[in-house]
Amino acid sequence: MIYILIKTLITAAVVVAVSEIARRSSLFAGLIASIPLVSFLAIIWLYWETKNSQKIVDLSYSIILMIIPSLTFFIVLPFVMKLQSSFVISMIVATVSTIIAYWLFILLLGKFGVSI
């Protein structure tokens, strides 16, 4: 239980750090946020728990595949906000668009015989 709490606190600290840095410099925060911090931490936690290199390879490949539909969020959000939509509506539209993009991408992968 302590281990899960430590993982949670470290992961939360990274998110808080990025949001605090963003108040001062969106470019620097964007740089930090664009580093695959969640992936980096997940890979560390997975290796720490399993010591299984193949699991790390499999997770890395899955992350690479999922980058494509995840870009939907970062394309849709600023577009909708520039249309003068509220922040909440913009986030909802971007999130729903991203969910649809993931769903369609997974269907497309299935058509090519890629299982995830």
What single letter denotes the amino acid at residue 32? I
User: Residue 68 domain-assigned?
Assistant: yes
Q: Give 14-72 pLDDT, tens digit per residue.
A: 888 888 888 888 877 777 777 777 788 889 989 999 999 999 998 898 888 888 999 99
- Going by C-beta distance under 8 Å and a sequence separation of 6 or more, which residues neighbour residue 100? 72
Task: Give the pLDDT score at 83.
Answer: 96
Q: Give 65-99 pLDDT, tens digit per residue.
A: 888 999 999 999 999 999 999 999 999 999 999 99
User: Residue 110 domain-assigned?
Assistant: yes
pTM of the model: 0.70
Domain total in the chain: 1
> Contact, 100 vs 73, CB < 8 A?
no
Which residues form the domain of 66? 52-116
User: Residue 37 domain-assigned?
Assistant: no
**Model confidence at 116, in pLDDT bands (50, 70, 90)?**
low
Torsion region of 114: left, alpha or beta (phi above 0 gives left; psi -120 to 50 gives alpha)? beta
Report DSSP state, residue 1: -
